[in-house]
Amino acid sequence: MANIIQPLQHFTKFESLELGNQLIEQALAYKANPALDQAKGAGKRIGCIFLNPSLRTRVSTQLAALNLGMEPIVLNMDKEGWALEMQDGAVMNRGTVEHIKDAAAVLGSYFDILAIRAFPSLTNKEEDMSDFTFSQFVKYSGVPVVSLESATRHPLQSLADQITIRENWSGKKKPKVVLTWGPHIKAIPHAVANSFAEWTLGMDHDLTITHPVGYELDEAFTKGATIEYNQSKALEDADFVYVKNWSSFNDYGKILSTDASWMLTENHFENAKNAKVMHCLPVRRNLELSDEILDGPRSLVQVQAKNRVFAAQAAISHLLGNK
Ligand SMILES: NCCC[C@H](NC(=O)CCC(=O)O)C(=O)O
Ligand SMILES: NC(=O)OP(=O)(O)O
């Protein structure tokens, strides 16, 4: 008998292999027929709240809701909302205009589901690790919440990535998956890398992570992965290579290296002839990843981006329940 999977209250992280498989299968069913559950969300609304920029997440989440017959409304809170106060008990005699307690409760009263993007500060490690801003929305809105990328995780991206791996792997053995750091000029969050590691390991794949010394990720997400500091060794016999920049976690938010030799070109694939390359986008071409790879036959980046629609559709459908 199949295990009964308890429905989630919120969609914020990897939960279990069983639920991962169920979401992947549901997403592939939606990819084959986007209108499969067109009546499921009828009469319901999802509020998509952005505290940071977005292209894919913004559009794919709206398309996913529309495919389920649900009405999406987007609020670019960083630009269009009042400046939010996050501290409990604050005397609001400075720049902030509205407390998160009030704003989140109002939004919760308007929507059946809220979806939130809240990036880390990359200056306050403790606050970022607790997903402080995102958690305030969960605490005060009182409705199911979907993460559109929090300080620590990007689960809709990771689900789309696992769908992409599933679609592109027919081998009998487990695929070798490699997460490689790529150079960048800015301090970049850990969320995509954390989440990719969490979901890849959770879905029972072999994961090797490679990065310069000092770029070790939070072990809470990488336990069970092989850490290999030599990139070319890590890439040997790889089936999927996920490229991502992140700033230092130990020396929190710092850029310790911009070493251009870490940017993948065809020369890096001498011992991984069939490897596919993945990136969540947006990508800084010829800094993080070369044109040669992005425009060549290894690249799965457009497939990943397309799968964001069906990942979001599966996640929202799950929160809407089985009725
Ligand atoms: N949602 C996908 C990635 C978002 C973010 N990238 C960025 O901030 C890139 C900014 C730049 O390249 O200037 C990140 O890596 O977490
Ligand atoms: N991959 C991703 O989340 O893209 P956006 O930041 O454009 O939403």
Ligand 2 pocket check for 281: Cβ under 6 Å: yes
Phi first, then psi, for residue 313 (nearest 5°) are -65, -40
- For ligand 2, pick from 57, 119, 157, 244 the residue to mutate: most ligand atoms within 8 Å of CB: 57
Q: Mind listing the pLDDT tens digit of every residue in the chain (323 residues)?
A: 556 778 899 999 999 999 999 999 999 999 999 999 999 999 999 999 999 999 999 999 999 999 999 999 999 998 999 999 999 999 999 999 999 999 999 999 999 999 999 999 999 999 999 999 999 999 999 999 999 999 999 999 999 999 999 999 998 999 999 999 999 999 999 999 999 999 999 999 999 999 999 999 999 999 999 999 999 999 999 999 999 999 999 999 999 999 999 999 999 999 999 999 999 999 999 999 999 999 999 999 999 999 999 999 999 999 999 64
Task: Answer whether 281's CB lies under 8 Å from 160's CB.
Answer: no
DSSP state of 117: E
Ligand 2 pocket check for 157: Cβ under 6 Å: yes
d(CA 103, CA 99): 6
Task: Answer whether 48's CB lies under 8 Å from 62's CB.
Answer: yes
Residue-range domains of the chain with CATH: 17-153+308-320 (3.40.50.1370), 169-299 (3.40.50.1370)
DSSP state of 268: G
Q: What is the pTM of this model?
A: 0.97
Q: ipTM strictly over 0.90?
A: yes
| H-assigned helices in the chain | 17-32, 56-67, 77-80, 100-110, 125-129, 132-141, 155-167, 191-202, 219-222, 231-235, 291-294, 301-320
Write down the pLDDT at residue 233.
Answer: 98
**CA dist 3 to 15, 122, 311, Å?**
14, 40, 22
Write down the pLDDT at residue 5.
Answer: 79
For residue 167 the two structure tokens come to 């679609």
> Residue written as tokens 């069939």?
274
Residues with CB under 6 A from ligand 1: 149, 154, 186, 188-189, 191-192, 280, 282, 284
Sequential DSSP letters for 213-267: TT-PPPHHHHTTSEE-S-HHHHHTT-SEEEEE----TTTTT------GGGSB-GG
Ligand 2 pocket check for 48: Cβ under 6 Å: no
**214-179-118 Cα angle (round to 5):** 80
